[in-house]
Amino acid sequence: MLYYGTCYYPEHWTAEQAKQHIPLMKKAGINVVRMAEFAWCKFEPEAGRYRFDWLDPVIAALHEAGIATVLGTPTCIPPQWALQRYPGMLQVDADGRTRNPGARCHCCKNAPAYQALAEGIVREMARHYAAMDGVIGWQIDNEFGCHGTTRCYCGHCEKAFREWLIEKYATEEAVNEAWGTAFWGFDFRQWAEIPLPRTMPTGSNPGHWLDFVRFCSDTQIKFHKAQYDVLKGLCPDHFVTHNFMGRFGEIDYYKLSDHVDRACWDNYPDPWGDPYAPAYAHEITRSFKGTFWVMEEKSGPTGDASTGLLGEQPEPGQIRRWFWQAVANGADGIAFFRWRACLTGAEQYWHGILDHDGVPRRRYKEVRRTGEELAKVAPEIAGTRVEAKVALIRNFDTLWSSERQPGASGLSYDDHCFEMYRAVKRRGLNCDIVDTTADLSRYRAAIAPALSIVTEDLAQKLTAYVLAGGTLVLTPQSGTRTATNAMADVPKPGLLAELAGVTIEEVRPYHHGQTNEISFARGPLIAETCKVGTWVEMLECTTAEPIAECRDEPFASKPVIACNSHGKGSVYYMGVHLPPATLLTFLGSLLPQAPIQDLPAGVEVTQRTNGDKGLVFVINNSRERQPVVLDKQYPELLSGETVGPEVTIAKNGILILRA
């Protein structure tokens, strides 16, 4: 079943106002709502006294109307009485300032009082709702780490960090060894001497930093897991999820997703931003479990809680397009945020399907029309999934290492992953975004951008993948570090040098926008030149064949891109960041061929399949009508007509082709 939903806050509305909501939802085709994730104070108005009577009739009325309920555990905002009683559960920032209550996400997940209170409310809710008709699932908390709150520097965290280190290293000497504390006299004799990396006169020890951010990520996961276990114990028939934040880089979502039944994320696309950005986050989230939901999907202008600014109004057709883009990339459920704009509170400007007055206008009509379309094609989509032939490895240890030390100004690991992803996507291919632990054997090509932290096991795994016939793409900074964030003491790219058939002779970071010209000696770009900058690595080919080389002195004729054939496969080492157009051609030549090619910029093609049947989605995310040449004629499901091979797709247009 495909879910079409909205985020609903009955606590914001009078009974009279609420009465009008459910019939309107039903008319729009809504079949699920998410509720209650901020309503702890309604559920537990006094310590240990629980009330559900405010919500139960709403769940019952929704159920009566055929609308299911996903409940949020409301743990990101404890009631005010709890904060009065346990002020020590507030977070502390890196400068030692306590984070004030009044908004959300201000409590420390290592504070024992907060852990106990959270466990209490979740257990009571789970008991109460386990058998209630209409309730199908749970969202744990809300957007862990939102508003920069993943990392807390309070006393509870300091204690828990030391315990985490004891568990990991057993002795102080092992920590000293791992972090290389001989540098700047940072040796520890006792656990109690180990601080958190709070704001200090200059940058922290990278080993210390990496373990701290790993610990902060683990803290979130542990807090989540405690709730997951309670919910699965008491409500075995309900699914449990958490709403991730797409590209958010402070929590290892691969580890977190071991403890969800379904992956979800919250999608707030910039109406005029890069259309591949939501696709990237969709594919990140899909890759955790194979399918996903968008638990919050933009359906009106945003309204930032801190700046108080009203965001852009989605253009006609954009809400529908964003919806279908999610489905095209594998979503099986989408809930619009939010049903109706709130009259009070910090998000007064954050609009939903309805405006403040609850009058159904253009956005409601678009949601309704999209709901009708979904009803029409849902039977064809049900049971299909995206099956990607290309994987992009995006690893959190590497992301964190580069957060601390990007290497050159303007370099961002995640932006680099996105730029590589974009080049895949522009070829009309889906791409799984996987961790280093993934089974790569089902992918024809794997791209591992700037994979700096490489262990022996990982090097062996990548080697086995290539030997068996895989194509592996490596880019600057690969293999430079160990698991403790130390630099590798062997020629770069470290443990990947033999596999790549190159060593890095010299690195040139360009901090002031200078560039270097390179020319291609082989491949689809032969004899072409382009300019590269930011970070350039001069290669020495041991067994690899040079593909592109530097033209500028003092490095003229030094290889910067090379290909090494290894067993049945090959490894491409790119020591440069290519400009987008060059990258598109170069990478495209290494990837499997997509059925529909030469896509205009902004036109996205994806496929869902279940073996017997296949669907091809063609979406025009650009601002103009676009011509597309399909590989043949197809029945198009939304219009019921046969289209192709030549088609023109309107701005915000969508084709769903039966393959």
* Closer residue to ligand GLA (CB): 305 or 659: 305
Instruction: Please report whether residue 141 would count as binding ligand GLA according to CB under 6 A.
Output: no
Among 172, 266, 332, 604, binds ligand GLA (CB under 6 A): 266
Instruction: Select 84 or 306, whichever has its Cβ closest to ligand GLA.
Output: 306
Distance separating alpha carbons of residues 583 and 39, to the nearest angstrom:
48
Q: How far is the CB of 302 from ligand GLA (least distance, A)?
A: 7
Residue 350 interacting with ligand GLA (CB under 6 A): yes
Chain positions 569 to 588 lying near ligand GLA, rule: CB under 6 A, are none
Question: Distances in Å between the alpha carbon of 233 and those of 225, 237, 240, 391?
Answer: 12, 10, 11, 35
Give the residue with the Cβ less far from ligand GLA, 142 or 287: 142
DSSP letters spanning 440-497:
-TT-SEEEETT--B--HHHHHHHHHHHHTT-EEEE-TTTT-B-TTSPBPSSSTTGGGH
Give kind and range of the element (H or E) at residue 208.
helix 206-234
Which residue, 36 or 391, has its beta carbon nearer to ligand GLA? 36
- β-pairing, 471-474 vs 445-448, is parallel
Based on the shown chain and the rule CB under 6 A, indicate whether residue 115 belongs to the binding site for ligand GLA.
no
Give min distance, CB of 74 to ligand GLA, in A.
11
Q: In this complex, which beta carbon is closest to ligand GLA, that of residue 74 or of residue 406? A: 74
Query: For residue 618, which phi and psi values (nearest 5 degrees)?
Result: -120, 120
Work out how close the CB of 145 gets to ligand GLA at its nearest, in angstroms, rounded to a whole number.
11
Closer residue to ligand GLA, CB minimum distance, 143 or 604? 143
Burial class (CB in 10 A: 0-12, 13-18, 19+), 450: buried
Strand pairing report for 569-574 and 559-566 = antiparallel
Closest CA to 337 of 321, 320, 325, 354: 354
Q: Which residue, 266 or 397, is less far from ligand GLA as judged by CB?
A: 266
Residue 649 sits at φ, ψ, to 5 deg, of -110, 130
Residues facing residue 68 across a β-bridge: 32
DSSP state of 184: T
With CB under 6 A as the contact rule, the residue among 36, 39, 67, 143 that binds ligand GLA is: 143
143 is catalytic: yes
DSSP sequence for 548-607? EEE-STTSTT-EEEEEEEETTEEEEEE-S---HHHHHHHHHTTSPPPSS-SPPTTEEEEE
- What is the Cα–Cα distance from 90 to 83, expressed in whole angstroms? 8
Q: Which two tokens stand for residue 47?
A: 């310590």
CB of 311 to ligand GLA, least distance (A): 10
Residues 37, 158, 250, 296: which is the catalytic one? 296
The only residue of 261, 347, 415, 552 in contact with ligand GLA, by rule CB under 6 A: 347
Coil, strand or helix at 97: coil
Active-site residue, 517 included: no
Q: How far is the CB of 141 from ligand GLA (least distance, A)?
A: 10
Number of residues that bind ligand GLA (CB under 6 A): 7
> Measured at CB, which residue is nearest to ligand GLA?
266
Distance between CA atoms of residues 571 and 459, nearest Å = 13
Q: Which of residues 282-321 bind ligand GLA (CB under 6 A)?
A: 296
SS3 17: helix
Q: Letter for the amino acid at 156?
A: H
Q: How far is the CB of 350 from ligand GLA (least distance, A)?
A: 5
Contact of 130 with 137, CB cutoff 8 Å: no
Q: Which of 412, 411, 427, 421 is nearest to 446 (CA)?
A: 421
Smallest separation (angstroms) from ligand GLA to the CB of 104: 8
11 binds ligand GLA (CB under 6 A): no
**Residue 429's closest CA among 648, 599, 199, 268?**
599
Site for ligand GLA in 400-459 (CB under 6 A): none
Toward ligand GLA, which CB reaches closer, 294 or 399? 294
Q: How far is the CB of 262 from ligand GLA (least distance, A)?
A: 17
User: Min. distance of Cβ 98 from ligand GLA in angstroms?
Assistant: 23
Please identify, using beta-carbon distances, which residue of 186 and 349 lies nearer to ligand GLA. Answer: 349
Among 110, 142, 395, 401, binds ligand GLA (CB under 6 A): 142
Which residues are identified as catalytic?
143, 296
Interacting residue ranges for ligand GLA, rule: CB under 6 A: 142-143, 266, 296, 337, 347, 350
